[in-house]
Amino acid sequence: MVENTQSIKRIPGYCALCRSRCGSIAVVENGRFVALEPDPSHPTGRALCAKGRAAPELVYHSDRLRYPLKRTRPKGDPDPGWQRISWDEALNLSAANLRRLADEYSPESVVFSMVSPSTSAIVDSANWIERLMRAFGSPNFCQSMELCGWGRYLATRYTYGAGVPGNYMPDLENAGCILFWGYNPNLARLDHAVTTVAALKRGARLIVVDPRRIGLAKKADLWLQVRPGSDGALALGIAHVMIERGWYDRDFIRNWTNGPLLVRSDNGRLLTGRDLSASDSAQRYVAWNEAKQRPMLFDPALGSYDGDNTELALFGEFMIDTLHGTVGCRPVFDLTAEVCGRNTPERVETICGVGRDQVESAARMLWEARPVAYYAWSGVEMQTNATQIARAIGQLYALTGNLDAPGGNVLFPSVPTKDVVGRELLSTEQAARTLGLPELPLGPARWQHVTSEELYRGILEQQPYAVRGLVGFGANLLLSHADSGRGREALAGLDFYVHADLFMNPTAELADIVLPVTSAFESEGLKIGFEVSQEAQSLVQLRQRVVEPQGEARSDIEIVFDLANHLGLGAHFWDGDVDAGYRYQLEPSGVSLDTLRQNPRGVRVPLQTRHRKFAEQRNGIAQGFDTPTRKIELYSETLLEHGYPPLPAYEEPLISPLSRPELTQRYPLILTCAKNTLFCETQQRALPSLRRHAPDPEVELHPAVAAERGISPGDWVSIETPEGSVRARARLDDTLKPNVVCGQHGWWQPCPEIGAPGYDAFGPDGANFNLIIGHEAIDPISGSVPHRAYLCQIRRVD
Ligand code: SF4
């Protein structure tokens, strides 16, 4: 497979730099990695972006960390006094300190952090990092879930019992209508962009919801220019039109959602069999049979009603005789329609800035161009109402009836493997000590994800207990999370911090030990399935090492296994043998590690997609969904029990002109942010070929807003919020709403080759966007922070 023409090698693999994992060919000339090209034979290999093409610059960059380093001066000293040490010393020191913290305090006093797998190659080792954390005894995994992933993987579990659309991926190849919400696949998942363009050519319709007209929004049939953070009202408004017009799949709603179940008007609880009879179960739910004018019981354990469910009422109010008197009850769907009905197209126009005719058109398109496949991303996740937005979009999607149907959002099959995240290594008692669980019991902590604020509070305020140690795998927390000043204070207060990364950065600078990490091109990586389709899922590939590691850099996975050995946890890590770990993981797949090494293009394991798996019967019982009612929960008693709205509700962003009118005189503009297509989050600004095209941080604003302030294109401006100010160059964009401006995060790194400066991460002359975003206004369920909807003022600086 590997072509070897004299001194030129072409090595098949995939670019691991972001979530797209594009199939690629690495070109190595005379032992030097010189180019990365697309591999059209790979299921995700039709295109590469500029970041992928710049991979050789990343590999050979002179600022790469090449040796383990030890701090020799106190934190706070402008010179950390980094001293090169051996791997043995680095691992011994790290293990000794971590073990000391676990023994003197507790294992949970050590938090493990990780850069987002969506924007880095950490996916190679993410599962193994989780395993190390649990083997160590800590339940605390700080992985930015509250900012990137909450909406698509976890929030919708309260609706679907599963990650929709995170795990139920859009079947773009067969979709009739594609809905992208706060998601620009051009930079988030390139393969989705390529497939969408092909879908448009065959006639699929496209709806893009985004405050900016970027990427595929320019090709969309409908571009809904929503005010940042008001997305929930838009989703409810579109749902309202669909329900009002009858543009919804009645059978799906009746059979597979809890829409027919009756809600008591006196206490908001679902009516149960126990309410009707002392001998019946509180786990059986009641619906109303319209034809027979009597209650019917639904038993989740049997997955069925005690009668004909085609006659179940979705609307109306019914007086039900209970053990304690007559109670008025309404079907969940009737309440759903009522809540949606408060968001008329006219109201949506007022709240969201999306024209009423566009709301109507979107509803019509979603219905008439079915099947609908959708995806949503961090644009709707970095919001103080992130959970309600995810619930509202999830509810809207349920109306189409397209879940797990061809052309809808489908749970594609996976090659069978062994789970290696080590859930069995952490006791239930220890899992219950996850930071954040007392304050946000339904938030990321429920799945052992810790928000950055929970980490900082644990260090600074020792609440709910003291955090003393941090093991960091690439997370540049101070540039990617809100309130960087508080973050710096927190990290400086750690008793011990070991950080593994490619480059020194403002976060790593606060570590005690820094470990050099290989890029994805200097190390193997095992990828089991490429997610986007059945074909992609069937591919198992062991990415080859393209060139030798720089200096003494080791891959994250090697570091995990080595550190485990030094911590005395080798028994859970095959005594440090990564290959043995891979073999264990691959066992059920029938694919051997040797076969993968001999076949660098990977091995295809035949898979067959089954649709509508929720309807499959096992022992005569329909599978349904992994929710308390085994239905899609338009109405969530879990949320109700914790004091949250049981139906998706519109909540105004906590920092907005409507919710904080007192701020708007000083901060009249809505501040959102977006990633630059040339950089993954806080990375790659040191690469000349990329930085040349984006030499400075920018803020996009409407020409009228610029003119009012005497700002010309390219002027340096200050972006000011109640938390402080940073600088950026003005870029004018007349497609923006005049009251919306869009900044960028991640600016700190210099690129001396082209004379582009670095930026102070903590001062007003710098460009760290997250320095001006506060951590106090958060989503009450997930702790998500409003990076995408804040208030600001823009001024020209001289
Ligand atoms: S989109 Fe770009 S950075 Fe991401 S995997 Fe593909 S080539 Fe690499």
Ranges of H-type helices in 230-310: 231-245, 250-256, 273-276
d(CA 702, CA 213): 12
d(CA 173, CA 199): 6
Residue 51 Cβ inside 6 Å of ligand 1? The answer reads yes
Using alpha carbons only, what angle is made at residue 437 by residues 433 and 442, rounded to the nearest 5 degrees?
Answer: 140
Asked whether the CA dihedral 8, 13, 18, 21 is positive or negative, the reply is positive
CB atoms within 10 A of CB 213: 15
Residue 190 Cβ inside 6 Å of ligand 1? The answer reads yes
The pLDDT assigned to 5 comes to: 54
Residue 15 Cβ inside 6 Å of ligand 1? The answer reads yes
Question: Cα(44) to centroid of ligand 1, in Å?
Answer: 10
d(CA 767, CA 756): 13
Question: Cα(115) to centroid of ligand 1, in Å?
Answer: 16
Atom 4 (ligand 1) nearest CA: 18
E strands present in 89-165: 110-114, 141-142
Residue 36 Cβ inside 6 Å of ligand 1? The answer reads no
Asked whether the CA dihedral 398, 402, 405, 411 is positive or negative, the reply is negative
CB atoms within 10 A of CB 289: 19
d(CA 50, CA 476): 22
Specify burial of residue 630 (Cβ count, 10 A radius: 0-12, 13-18, 19+).
buried
Q: Average pLDDT per run of 10 along the chain, which is 798 residues long?
A: 70 96 97 97 97 97 97 92 98 98 98 94 96 98 94 97 97 98 93 97 98 96 98 98 98 98 98 97 96 95 90 96 97 98 98 98 98 96 98 98 98 98 97 97 97 97 97 96 96 98 97 98 98 97 98 98 98 98 98 98 98 95 96 98 97 97 96 94 95 97 98 98 97 98 97 96 96 96 97 95
Residue 22 Cβ inside 6 Å of ligand 1? The answer reads yes
The residues that bridge with 756 in the sheet, in sequence order, are 751
Residue 48 Cβ inside 6 Å of ligand 1? The answer reads yes
Residue 17 Cβ inside 6 Å of ligand 1? The answer reads yes
The pLDDT assigned to 4 comes to: 52
Residue with the two structure tokens 């929720």: 614
Distances (CA, A) of 557 to 82, 139, 387, 597: 24, 20, 33, 17
**Of the candidates 644, 634, 700, the residue with the CA atom closest to the CA atom of residue 671:** 700
CB atoms within 10 A of CB 655: 24
User: What pTM value is reported for the model?
Assistant: 0.96
Atom 2 (ligand 1) nearest CA: 49
The pLDDT assigned to 1 comes to: 45
d(CA 65, CA 600): 28
Atom 6 (ligand 1) nearest CA: 22
d(CA 126, CA 132): 10
d(CA 330, CA 259): 10
Atom of ligand 1 nearest to the CA of 49: 2
The pLDDT assigned to 262 comes to: 98
CB atoms within 10 A of CB 34: 12
d(CA 133, CA 129): 6
Pocket mutation for ligand 1, best pick of 14, 20, 187, 521 (most atoms within 8 Å of C-beta): 20
Residue 121 Cβ inside 6 Å of ligand 1? The answer reads no
Residue 314 Cβ inside 6 Å of ligand 1? The answer reads no
**Of the candidates 191, 52, 190, the residue with the CA atom closest to the CA atom of residue 684:** 52
Cis link prior to 165 (omega < 30° from 0)?
Answer: yes
The residues that bridge with 11 in the sheet, in sequence order, are 26
Residue 21 Cβ inside 6 Å of ligand 1? The answer reads yes
DSSP collapsed to 3 states, 50-69: HHHHCHHHHHHCCCECCCCE
The pLDDT assigned to 307 comes to: 86
Residue 189 Cβ inside 6 Å of ligand 1? The answer reads no
Question: Cα(143) to centroid of ligand 1, in Å?
Answer: 21
Residue 519 Cβ inside 6 Å of ligand 1? The answer reads no
